[in-house]
Amino acid sequence: MLEARGAVACCFGTPAVLAQPSGAQAVHGTASLQQQGNNLVVTTGNGAGSNHSAINWQSFSVPAGSTTQFNQPSASSTSINRVVGSDPSAIFGTLRSNGKLVLVNPAGIAVGAGAVVDTAGFTASTLRMSDADALAGRLVFGDGSGGGALAVGGQIVARSGDVVLIAPNIETAASALIQSPNGATVLAAGRQVAITGRGLEGISLQVQAPSDSAVNLGSIAGDAVGIFAGTLKHSGLINATAATSEGGKVVLRGQAEAEIGGQVAASKGSLGGQVHATAHKVRLKSGAVIDVSGANGGGEALIGGGWQGKDGRVANASETTLEAGSTVKANATEAGDGGTVVAWSDHTTQVHGRIEARGGAKGGDGGNVETSGKQDLDARGARVDTSAAQGAMGSWLLDPTSITIEAGCAPGPAPCPPPGLPAAAPGPSVIYEADLEVATSNVTISAFESIGTNGAFSGGALTLQPGHSLVLETTGAAGTGINLGAVGLATSGAGTITLQTAAASQSIQSGPLLTAGGNITLTGAGSIGIHGNMSTGGSSGDININTTGTTGIYVDGGVTMTAHAIALGISGAGGQVQLLSGGAIQLQAPAGASITSTLGDIAVYGNVFNNASGAGTGL
């Protein structure tokens, strides 16, 4: 008796005494069998006018310690082998071919631990193939009747073609090693599947159910790698490496769920590759690593969707989660620009892990990161790095419907919040002050309706890292706009501050705004209220405040504006600039200060001191 182990045991139990493949009948082309001790040699001839043969077998298994060898006319030839008996195929020995092999067994297929499948290309399916498709060489699988499980615990290698595994349920054990160094490795869990060409683009899943599952605990490698399933779980290793600019792509696509707990790497030559992961619900578990870094440039990691959910190459998830302890990298490791990382969903996105898109140490700019939920975003504990030692800083975009910047949560290596803390309550999205302050990236918060603050901020302000810029914007046609309350915003170095709204109903209400030479810009279509001091340091950096609306600009008393140049203006129809001075308002600008209103009034209530030494207008 031969014991089945690992993935084989979980799916088929212990098989009966195994024998070499038997009961062969060639239905297209020719096949001759020669038994040599424990080994079997199958010599095939292609059918007339074709490049394939087709054989029906009563049984097809390879016992441990034995070899079944297929000798085909050439490496480009394909032998289609369908099992018409009732026993599953159990491969525990060695299955070899100089050409491509297709093995179809609706009762199930197992490649046990210690087994080796070594061919030019290998397709295994537990979905049925019709007589007509076998005769024509069409790789179309599934008649609606389902199929058995497919389990791999051994080694499968395709020397010059693809490895494609097809079944309603596929599992690769931790001992599994599947590789196609010059082709694609594909796990396709479904009910009807067609192979129309090479690579990931050649796989068509025509019928798939949420219960169709693919579980990878092993190691999968190829020029490209794809896992397609109703429910997908990956906790092993995936590596897609291409020597040229073609390939280097991983696609993880679930219909219901995609859970990634292992490592995924993709590269093409000296550049980072592509990883696209999506499902109705996508989750990167703690410890998961997605790496699309490259020596001369970072690649692309799209999790739950593309940039702002508008990339047709990847379907949008409804929920996307990056757990604390998960990592996504799109770095240039030597000289080049950082890549692109997106965590998106159409409903709720939670990002508590680390994302990197760094420029190269020897040159190159930082990359681009987006963490967005079309409705809700919980980015507490997110750590984003788009730094560039020798180039321009990259960007981090947060793009929900509305968002609240919460005070507190001290910066540090520990996640914020700690693992296990409940998700944010329904309502406006949330990110902590400290998450933005420790980010090594320019930050853009682009909400559709509103941006607000809550709580007592450290030092009374949100203070970015030196040289980093901050953009807060609302882009929709409704909502309240930007209300910072008494919270200040501060940058240093060349960092700038920009606040902007799109709708007349959206106002800007700002507290203190401070830079160290960077510009401060407030623009909108609604009212703008200035409730704190503004300063760019005085010698450089300008303050520009403008609205196109009719509701005006309002400056509280006791406010001091200090910049290289200051401009307050209304370009809309009939708005007012009001200087509401309970205390003195001071404008200090060596290059001049101007207050203008195209059609409305300029109203001064109290004392205004214009200490500008340049040629200002309007006062």
CATH code of the domain covering residue 249: 2.160.20.10
CA torsion angle 83 216 100 17 (round to 10):
-40
3 state SS for 205-269 = EEECCCCCEEEECCEEEEEEEEEEEEEEEECCEEEEEECCCCCCEEEEEEEEEEEECCEEEEEEC
0.75 cut: is pTM over it? yes
Buried b (16+ CB within 10 A) or exposed e, 506-527: bbbbbbbbbbbbbbbbbbbbbb
Residue 420 has pLDDT above 60, yes or no: no
Q: Are residues 234 and 280 in the same domain?
A: yes
Spatial distance between the Cα atoms of 24 and 71, rounded to a whole number of angstroms: 15
Sign of the torsion angle spanned by Cα atoms 307, 311, 313, 317 = positive
Give the residues across from 597 on adjacent strands: 570
Residue 7 has pLDDT above 60, yes or no: no
Average pLDDT (463-483) is: 91
CB atoms within 10 A of CB 411: 16
Q: What is the pLDDT of residue 233?
A: 96
In the structure, what pLDDT confidence band is assigned to residue 602 with cuts at 50, 70 and 90? low
Average pLDDT (149-162) is: 97
Residue 30 has pLDDT above 90, yes or no: yes
Q: Are residues 74 and 175 in the same domain?
A: yes
Spatial distance between the Cα atoms of 611 and 308, rounded to a whole number of angstroms: 45
Query: Which residues have C-beta within 8 Å of that of residue 482, sequence separation ≥ 6?
Result: 450, 451, 452, 472, 473, 474, 499, 501, 506, 507, 508, 509, 510
Q: What is the pLDDT of residue 145?
A: 83
Q: Are residues 36 and 157 in the same domain?
A: yes
Residue 459 lies in a domain: no
Residue 460 lies in a domain: no
Collapse the DSSP code of 562 into the 3-class scheme (helix H, G, I; strand E, B; otherwise coil) and give the result: strand
Q: Strand 263-268 to strand 271-272: parallel, antiparallel, or no bridges (unpaired)?
A: antiparallel
In the structure, what pLDDT confidence band is assigned to residue 421 with cuts at 50, 70 and 90? very low
Q: What is the pLDDT of residue 443?
A: 96
Q: Find, among 8, 221, 247, the residue nearest to 112 by Cα.
A: 8
Q: Strand 203-207 to strand 507-510: parallel, antiparallel, or no bridges (unpaired)?
A: unpaired
Out of 238-247, 248-257, 596-605, pick the least confident. Answer: 596-605
Residue 559 lies in a domain: yes
Query: Which residues have C-beta within 8 Å of that of residue 136, sequence separation ≥ 6?
Result: none
Q: Are residues 343 and 477 in the same domain?
A: no
Residue 67 has pLDDT above 90, yes or no: yes
Q: Are residues 178 and 222 in the same domain?
A: no
What tens digit of pLDDT does each residue of 305-342 get?
Answer: 999 999 999 999 999 999 999 999 999 999 999 999 99
Query: Residue 147's Cα: distance from chain center in Å?
Result: 32
Residue 207 lies in a domain: no
Residue 204 lies in a domain: no
Out of 7-11, 77-81, 299-303, pick the least confident. Answer: 7-11
Q: Are residues 395 and 364 in the same domain?
A: yes
Residue 450 lies in a domain: no
Taking only Cα atoms into account, the Rg of the chain, rounded to an integer number of angstroms, comes to: 31
Q: What is the pLDDT of residue 609?
A: 60
Q: What is the pLDDT of residue 411?
A: 45
Residue 452 lies in a domain: no
3 state SS for 386-452 = CCCCCCCCCEEEECCCEEEEECCCCCCCCCCCCCCCCCCCCCCEEEEHHHHHCCECEEEEEECCEEE
Q: Are residues 247 and 139 in the same domain?
A: no
Q: Are residues 188 and 223 in the same domain?
A: no
Query: Which residues have C-beta within 8 Å of that of residue 362, sequence separation ≥ 6?
Result: 334, 335, 390
Q: What is the pLDDT of residue 339?
A: 98
φ, ψ of residue 12 to 5 degrees: the values are: -125, -5
Q: Are residues 345 and 403 in the same domain?
A: yes
What tens digit of pLDDT does each residue of 482-494 get?
Answer: 999 999 999 988 8
Domain boundary among 404, 425, 441: 441
Domain hosting residue 23, numbered range = 1-198
Spatial distance between the Cα atoms of 449 and 475, rounded to a whole number of angstroms: 7
Q: Are residues 50 and 172 in the same domain?
A: yes
Q: Are residues 81 and 30 in the same domain?
A: yes
Residue 213 has pLDDT above 70, yes or no: yes
How many domains is the chain built from? 3
Q: Are residues 234 and 298 in the same domain?
A: yes
Distance set, CA 618 to CA 538, 566, 567, 592, 597 (Å): 20, 12, 10, 11, 9
Residue 451 lies in a domain: no
